Amino acid sequence: MNAQKRTELLALIILAGFVIAVALAYVFGFYKESPYPYSTFLFIPNDNFTGQLDAASSLGVHRFGDLHAVWFAAGSSDPYFLGAATPGLSRASYFPFTYLLFKPLSWLPYPTAVVLFLLTTTSATFAAFWQRIGSQDNIQRGLLTLIIAGLTYPMLFNQDRGNIDIIIVLLLWVMLEMMMRAKWQVAALLLALAATFKGLPGLFALLFIPVRKWAAIATSVVATVGMTLIAFATMSSGLEHSVDGFRASLESFGVFANVGTTSLQHNTSISGLLAVLAHWSPVFTGAFDSAGVISALVLLITVTASLALPLLLWERVSLIVVAITLVPAVSFDYRLLLILLPAGLIISDRTSSDVPTYVVVLFGLILIPKALPVLWADIGAGTLINPILMLALLVAVITRGIQRRRRTGANAWTGGPVTI
């Protein structure tokens, strides 16, 4: 299957999933007047912003709520203690450089900041896929770009939330492009910038190891630490106090992850999967209690496979995406945006024909909504299905790597240039 056919198949699955999900939400929401989560595959979109910027209800719940939390905290000189000082507000939970970068956005009125963020990130995503899709027919190319860049569930979910994961994905997209052009230092700096938003993108440093780009890894580590320290130093409470506040913010998020069903809504993680299974049957209670150990095992397997097996770039990227998505206790569905990275690689004309159809189908299934059926309360089927699909992708990639090693005798360190 060539790149064009892979692109068309991926777009067909995404479009079909989108149409079916919208139709179901319309039937349940309009005709049956069913509430959330039957009426939408997004996150309570009818709960709109109240305009009270200091109210607890304005943080995180309303449409674009994730962006408002960043915008609000970035406007403070001491974001990690903003929540502690203002009753009803949660602590800032992102890495410090996030608030330094978003500082200019905080100078704008919130509605203006929302429009600017959404237009910029959506346009950049469309441009990225337009460049990657190789169709000679511009009308067809435009339609494929619209579907793959604009109608996937994680893209719609992320933009509805206004989450910064879209920026991380775009940085990593350009990083991969720089790697394929052998611009390793530039790629290292882009990786560092992505890691200063959230720590988990740092796992993409695994891509530099089989090609022995030690200097690039060092550049990325130094840049990440340097930017983080600079951001801490700009906070009014000082370096040591800000570090304590950041640690407290991570602890408060950990507490949130174990309260009620909120953390299970739109969640793609090993812990979420085991929580669903344990809810249905006490047989899985022990597994749920050991969710941390099982998640650590998945991380170990993905890292080992990435470093030991002869894999193509899209396969190695897929393994890292699986780890970043499944391992955290809470992994909300905007993190599925990371699947756009290997998906973007397999639709490129530069990609070898060694991409099986079932992998394209797996990518497509991961990228469509799965709100129905509702499992219980406000927990949709995606919390069960998406982790299983990600594990299937993990097994598929590792199996291909093992088969390639037996067939060729190669390992992850064999060969030179990055091949997709």
Do 125 and 170 touch, CB atoms closer than 8 A? yes
Q: Which two tokens stand for residue 358?
A: 């079932």
For 338, residues 6+ apart whose C-beta sits below 8 A from its C-beta are: 165, 169, 172, 321, 324, 325
Q: What is the pLDDT at residue 420? A: 55
pLDDT in tens, 261-301: 667 888 999 999 999 999 888 888 888 888 899 999 999 99
Amino acid (one-letter) located at 389: L
- Token pair listed for 196: 């200063």
Q: Could you write out the DSSP letters of every residue in 320-334?
A: HHHHHHHSSS--BGG
Judged by DSSP in three states, 204 sits in helix
Query: The domain containing residue 298 runs over which residues?
Result: 3-408
DSSP characters for 243-257? HHHHHHHHHHHHHHT
Q: Residue 110 has what pLDDT? A: 87
The answer to whether position 101 is within a domain reads: yes
Phi, psi (5° rounding) for residue 310? -75, 100
CA–CA separation, 279 and 281 (whole Å): 6
Residue at 414 is within a domain = no
Does residue 353 fall inside a structural domain?
A: yes
Query: Do residues 90 and 252 lie in contact, with contact meaning Cβ atoms separated by under 8 Å?
Result: yes
pLDDT of residue 257: 57
pLDDT for 250 equals 75
Q: pLDDT tens for residues 12-50?
A: 999 999 999 999 999 998 888 888 888 889 887 555 555
User: Which amino acid, one-letter code, is at 206?
Assistant: L
Q: What is the mean pLDDT of each run of 10 residues along the chain (420 residues)?
A: 91 98 93 88 66 47 79 85 54 85 93 94 96 87 96 95 95 97 97 95 96 96 95 83 79 61 82 91 85 94 95 96 94 95 90 87 97 89 96 97 90 59
Q: Please tell me the distance from the alpha carbon of residue 235 to that of residue 143, in angstroms, as a whole number.
A: 46
Is residue 40 domain-resident? yes
User: Which pLDDT belongs to residue 411?
Assistant: 76
pTM of the entire predicted model: 0.92
Residue 398 near residue 291 (C-beta atoms within 8 A): no
325 and 366 in contact (C-beta within 8 Å)? no
Position 415 in a domain: no
Residue 338 to residue 334: CA distance in whole angstroms: 8
Domain assignment present for 417: no
Output phi, psi for 397, to 5 deg: -70, -45
Own/partner long-range contacts of 375-382 (Cβ < 8 Å, ≥24 apart): 375/276, 375/279, 376/279, 377/261, 378/36, 378/37, 378/261, 378/265, 379/37, 379/261, 379/264, 379/265, 379/276, 380/37, 380/41, 380/265, 380/266, 382/266, 382/268, 382/333
* pLDDT the model gives residue 260: 56
Number of domains in the chain: 1
